[in-house]
């Protein structure tokens, strides 16, 4: 069976490394993007099964990236990573089909399980 692909989109290097480490142990193929431009290229080329998407990214923010994902790969599963107090943004992301969100600093184990749940469904 082909490995499931996860794309991590976050401008913070530390978050990308942490998620890469935890999720690669789960047996997924991991891609990383620090920006919307890089993320959209990877989505077009690799068609990841799931995207972990930071809301606050300099330049193209998470919502804009999510809108563009919906245009190129509408069925991609997306989980948002947000900061405290981003309720309006979270509502918009939900309207754009984001599955759920995790507020930073999140419990890495909860996030790992949420990703797993999506991969088996």
Of residues 44 through 83, those in contact with Mg ion by CB under 5 A are 54, 56
Q: Which is nearer to Mg ion, 12 or 100 (by Cβ)?
A: 12
CB of 16 to Mg ion, least distance (A): 10
CB-nearest residue to Mg ion: 56
CB of 44 to Mg ion, least distance (A): 22
**CA torsion, ordered 11, 64, 107, 23, to nearest 10 deg:** -70
Q: Which is nearer to Mg ion, 75 or 88 (by Cβ)?
A: 88
- Count CB-CB contacts under 10 A for residue 92: 17
Beta bridge partners of 7: 31, 51
Q: Which is nearer to Mg ion, 65 or 115 (by Cβ)?
A: 65
Residues contacting Mg ion: total by CB under 5 A: 3
Stretch in the footprint of Mg ion (CB under 5 A) among 10-18, 40-48, 63-71, 93-101: 10-18
Go through 32-52 and write b for each residue having 16 or more CB atoms within 10 A of its CB, e for each that does not.
bbbbbeebbebbeeeebbbbb
In this chain, which of 11, 26, 61, 73 binds Mg ion, going by CB under 5 A? 11
Interface positions with Mg ion (CB under 5 A) = 11, 54, 56
């Amino acid at each position: 069976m082909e490995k499931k692909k996860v794309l991590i989109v976050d401008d913070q290097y530390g978050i990308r490394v942490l998620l890469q480490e935890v999720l690669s142990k789960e047996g997924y193929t991991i891609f990383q993007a620090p920006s919307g431009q890089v993320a959209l290229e990877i989505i077009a080329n690799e068609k990841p099964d799931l995207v972990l998407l930071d809301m606050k990214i300099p330049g193209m923010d998470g919502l804009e990236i999510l809108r563009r994902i919906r245009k190129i790969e509408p069925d991609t599963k997306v989980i948002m990573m947000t900061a405290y107090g981003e309720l309006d943004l979270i509502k918009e992301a939900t309207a754009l089909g984001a599955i759920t969100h995790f507020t930073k600093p999140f419990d890495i184990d909860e996030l790992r399980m949420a990703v797993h749940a999506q991969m088996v469904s």
